[in-house]
Chain A
Amino acid sequence: MRDKILNAIGMALLGVCFAVSLVRIAARQFSRDEQGGDHVTIRFAHWQLENGVRSTLDQIAAEYMKLHPGVKVVQLPIPESIYTNWLVTQLVGETAPDLIQIGIGMTDERIARFFLPLDDLASNPNPYNRGTSLEDLPLRATLFDGMESGYVSTLLEYYGVPISGASVRMYYNLELLEQITGAGTPPETYEELVSLAKETQAYAQRKGVPLVPIAGSRYNAPMIMQRLFSSQTQKLVERLNPPGIFGEDLIRRADDYLDGRWSLDSEEVRSGFDLMHEVGQYMQPGFIQLQRDDATLSFVQGRALMISTGSWDATSIRQQASFRIGVSTIPFPSTESRVYGRYLLGELSEAGTNGGVVFGITRGSPQADVAKDFLRFLASQRMNQLWTDESGWIPAVVGIKVTPDVAPFLPVTVGYLPGIYPSIAAGGTFPSLNRLVGINLHRLVGATGDTGAFINAIKPGYRDALIHDLRRNHRTALDISQRSDTQFGGLAWTALAQPNDVKAAARMNAFMQSASMNDRKLYRIRHSLEKAEVQ
């Protein structure tokens, strides 16, 4: 009999709970309809879940709502891991928020179909800058990257406005640094970094504490290793470039590899892998299997002296750490160094760094003009000052005073171009190479890691992976060229139909340049593919 009563109570409880929820939902639904009338709600979505960002954006939204009582501004942060899924469905479903952060999961086809061109925003002054030195400058000129980060070259239009920037730096536990070296100054060169790391290991041994010089993980280790590798290949790129070519050109590097002008056995490349191996010895063993938050946690807990990560983690780390933090650029080997000085030119230039946290406006938004006004408000000098002071991130508007905490993250304009990276490109241009290098990295940087073993492991598959990636790039370039044929038809016909329309003629002219730039790339890839397949 006892279990009968238990069951009865259970079912009753469930029934009551269910009824209460229903009443709450009905009530909320009713209240939402009733006050929905005079109210305009604009919503903006982004994937920056780091500490400090959400609270700062809420503050800015509150400021805007104070200025515009009739408008309600809602922030919608989405975790990075599912941002693409969320984005595709929201756009297709026409239920997308009015402002969306452009970047992850974005293709130019999606931008063209679902986002509004912002040329009018870019070329007119920002009303919210009234009373400041930027008062009559067009919005584009008030941003440090000239709104380049919001420009889509295949569409010849601005589609986004940046409100921040980003850079990769080395973070130090200053108190620990003072205990170990007596002085609180971060190392200037890679050689100083290595000697500091050795001192740290000795200190940890002496004290018997679980301390590691550099916190490593699948996410953080490549940040320092890729840059160090690219230092050793700076002169290689200069040597490979034919007369008349300066700087980095990934198709040419791939072609050089296929023609044998450089290989994994080139001395610069071996030296780059040696450098990656050496720096890997100062990270916690088995760091390959750790993820971003494991490394950050071990640094914040004082179990690692240094960590290399982006400026976006600065506020999270400062809030979690109980010690003072030092920040410096990732130290490069010095040109005098006997071992690593021969092949490098010097620190990397960040002059061309583009803005970050770029917001675009969705075509389907019924209150696009209010959304545009809020975007101008976000990108105004006063609000960007609030943004950098509160969130600790880099500002995007020019002429903003940054706090001493943010200063070390500002882009460094003095410096050279990077050489090639372990999988030639830093980003996603050669995904198969990225995968090949990634799944063999443990042979290079592990405790028993060795450059020779690593090279022998990736050499057999390197050429095929490169050809596979070149085919993929060829496919993408061909897609763009075929798509541009119909675009060109539309632009040319419109321009020729009204000869005196200067703007249409200029758009056709600009489009012909961007289309033939893409065609040049298409033919160069095809040419090196045909050469490679012949061999």
Chain B
Amino acid sequence: MSNSISKRKALHEWKLYLFIVPALLLLLTFSYLPAISAIYHSFFRWTGGDSKEFIGLKNFQAALSDSIFWDSFILIAILVASNVVKLVPSIVMAVLIHRLKSDRWQYWYRVGVVLPMIVPGLVTLFIWKFFFDPTHGALNQFLDISGLKTLLVHFDQALHLGGIFSEGVPISWLGEPALIIPSLIIWGFPWIGAVGVLIYLAGLQSIGAEIYEAAELDGANSWQRFRFVEFPLIMTQVRLSLVMLIIATLQGYGLQFLLLGPDGGPGGRGMVPGLWMFNRAFLAGEFGYACALGIFLFAFILGLTVLNNRYVRVEK
């Protein structure tokens, strides 16, 4: 961490404060003011136009009894939990690239990892929507060809799930409430985060050569090498990626909106807090109420991050 400085020297170095001024100015106008305006408007009944009416804490009281908003945190919990699983492929890929013999291959694999970042999000979304299409989508075609479909149908009958998978009827992945959550989790299947992979690679390279020799002497197999040598060192980067991923999941609603629509699809199963804020603001025209929901969501994320920093302390 940056070293401490005596009061006297700090006064002498007052010029340093000038360095933070541009950043502060920029953030104050374009990040803080909208946030403050959101807090201000959460005390009003506001339809986004000119007329607004001061109603004190009514928005917050209404939010407390808004079951749709609080139920949507269940889905968020599932998605956040699935984030932990979604980190694995990136870690596996980083470790495998790191253990390759030739440097040339390592370089070209890094290029391959970074390339998908350039593809605009709309393309990925289109391909996944096409993937889930019931009649001629890839997922159903694959299940039919591989015979997995009949397996699922027996599975459905055995546990009498009510015909989610029934013979001859293509599975509607986004049309059947029970399948929405699995579909949202499968989405983006290999979950390779380019930035994540490269950051882990960076951590792995800082492992000293002598540590590997020591592990070699103890006869550690590849799993033990990973468990005791490689994984501890990239633990901090993994934790950072996890925090970033969780914040993005908690705030995100674009995926659910484009795949399932503003009401969260059949059964409202795809509803997440961000989407309900969007729904209330733009569909019901209750901008003030949406701001109040935003503050609850912000408090939730803040609590989670503080918890994460305190209890997931990892020694560097």
A residues near B (Cβ < 8 Å) are: 84, 88, 107, 109-110, 113, 210, 218, 284-290, 294, 431, 435, 438-442, 446-448, 472, 479, 483
Contacts of B284 in A (CB 8 A): 431, 472
Q: Which 5 A-B pairs have the closest CB atoms?
A: A286-B172, A286-B134, A289-B174, A289-B175, A286-B175
B282 within 8 A of A: yes
B163 within 8 A of A: yes
B286 to chain A, nearest CB (A): 9
Contact of A109 among B50, B134, B172, B268 (CB under 8 A): B50
Stretch of B98-106, B186-194, B258-266 that contacts chain A: B258-266
Contact of A286 among B47, B163, B170, B268 (CB under 8 A): B170
Contact of B134 among A284, A441, A479 (CB under 8 A): A284
Beta-carbon contact of A285 and B265 below 8 Å: no
Contact of A439 among B49, B51, B170, B268 (CB under 8 A): B268
Contact of B265 among A88, A284, A289, A448 (CB under 8 A): A289
B135 to chain A, nearest CB (A): 5
A interface footprint on B156-180 (CB within 8 Å = 1, 0 otherwise) = 0000001100100111111111000
B227 within 8 A of A: no
Contacts of B135 in A (CB 8 A): 210, 284-286
A477 to chain B, nearest CB (A): 15
* A442–B134 CA distance with the chains assembled, in angstroms: 14
B254 within 8 A of A: no
Please judge, given known A-B contacts A289-B132, A289-B173, whether A88 and B48 are in contact too, CB under 8 Å: yes
Contacts of A483 in B (CB 8 A): 51
Beta-carbon contact of B47 and A442 below 8 Å: no
Beta-carbon contact of B170 and A285 below 8 Å: yes
Contact of B172 among A88, A210, A285 (CB under 8 A): A285
* A441–B265 CA distance with the chains assembled, in angstroms: 10
* A294–B132 CA distance with the chains assembled, in angstroms: 13
A interface footprint on B273-292 (CB within 8 Å = 1, 0 otherwise) = 00000000011100000000
Please judge, given known A-B contacts A285-B135, A286-B175, A289-B132, whether A439 and B265 are in contact too, CB under 8 Å: yes
Beta-carbon contact of A447 and B166 below 8 Å: yes
B267 within 8 A of A: yes
* A138–B189 CA distance with the chains assembled, in angstroms: 63
Beta-carbon contact of A448 and B48 below 8 Å: no
Contacts of A441 in B (CB 8 A): 266
Chain B contributes a number of interface residues (CB within 8 A of A) equal to 33
B154 within 8 A of A: no
* A288–B134 CA distance with the chains assembled, in angstroms: 10
Beta-carbon contact of B169 and A447 below 8 Å: yes
Please judge, given known A-B contacts A288-B172, A439-B268, A440-B267, whether A113 and B50 are in contact too, CB under 8 Å: yes
- Residue in chain A with minimal CB distance to B135: A284
Beta-carbon contact of A448 and B162 below 8 Å: yes
* A286–B183 CA distance with the chains assembled, in angstroms: 14
Contacts of A479 in B (CB 8 A): 51
B residues near A (Cβ < 8 Å) are: 47-51, 132-136, 162-163, 166, 169-177, 260-261, 263-268, 282-284
Known: A288-B175, A442-B176. 15 other contacts (CB 8 A): A285-B170, A286-B171, A286-B173, A289-B175, A290-B133, A431-B283, A435-B268, A439-B267, A440-B266, A442-B266, A442-B267, A446-B175, A447-B163, A447-B169, A483-B51
Contact of A446 among B47, B133, B172, B265 (CB under 8 A): B172
* A13–B176 CA distance with the chains assembled, in angstroms: 51
Contacts of A88 in B (CB 8 A): 48-49
Beta-carbon contact of A435 and B49 below 8 Å: no
Please judge, given known A-B contacts A431-B284, A446-B172, whether A439 and B132 are in contact too, CB under 8 Å: no
A81 to chain B, nearest CB (A): 10
Please judge, given known A-B contacts A435-B263, A438-B263, A448-B163, whether A289 and B51 are in contact too, CB under 8 Å: no
Contacts of A438 in B (CB 8 A): 263
- Residue in chain A with minimal CB distance to B132: A289
* A472–B169 CA distance with the chains assembled, in angstroms: 41
Beta-carbon contact of A285 and B169 below 8 Å: yes
* A483–B51 CA distance with the chains assembled, in angstroms: 10
Beta-carbon contact of B50 and A289 below 8 Å: no
* A109–B285 CA distance with the chains assembled, in angstroms: 14
Please judge, given known A-B contacts A110-B49, A285-B170, A288-B172, whether A442 and B283 are in contact too, CB under 8 Å: no
Contact of B49 among A109, A285, A287 (CB under 8 A): A109
A145 to chain B, nearest CB (A): 27
Beta-carbon contact of B172 and A289 below 8 Å: yes
* A268–B283 CA distance with the chains assembled, in angstroms: 31
* A431–B51 CA distance with the chains assembled, in angstroms: 22
Beta-carbon contact of A285 and B134 below 8 Å: yes
Contacts of A210 in B (CB 8 A): 135-136
B276 to chain A, nearest CB (A): 11
* A289–B256 CA distance with the chains assembled, in angstroms: 12
Contacts of A435 in B (CB 8 A): 263, 268
B112 to chain A, nearest CB (A): 18
B8 to chain A, nearest CB (A): 43
**What are 26 inter-chain pairs, A to B, with CB distance below 8 A?**
A88-B49, A109-B51, A113-B50, A210-B135, A210-B136, A284-B134, A285-B169, A285-B172, A286-B170, A286-B174, A288-B172, A289-B134, A289-B260, A289-B266, A294-B133, A431-B283, A438-B263, A439-B265, A439-B268, A440-B266, A441-B266, A442-B175, A442-B177, A446-B172, A447-B166, A479-B51
A331 to chain B, nearest CB (A): 25
* A289–B133 CA distance with the chains assembled, in angstroms: 8
* A441–B51 CA distance with the chains assembled, in angstroms: 36
Contacts of A290 in B (CB 8 A): 133
B160 to chain A, nearest CB (A): 12
Contact of B166 among A107, A442, A448 (CB under 8 A): A448
Interface centre among A286, A287, A438, A441 (most CB of B within 10 A): A286
Please judge, given known A-B contacts A284-B134, A286-B170, A289-B174, whether A107 and B163 are in contact too, CB under 8 Å: no
Contacts of B282 in A (CB 8 A): 84
A441 to chain B, nearest CB (A): 7
Contacts of B267 in A (CB 8 A): 439-440, 442
Please judge, given known A-B contacts A431-B283, A448-B162, whether A439 and B48 are in contact too, CB under 8 Å: no
Contacts of A442 in B (CB 8 A): 172, 175-177, 266-267
B255 to chain A, nearest CB (A): 14
Contacts of A84 in B (CB 8 A): 282
Contacts of A431 in B (CB 8 A): 283-284
* A440–B265 CA distance with the chains assembled, in angstroms: 9
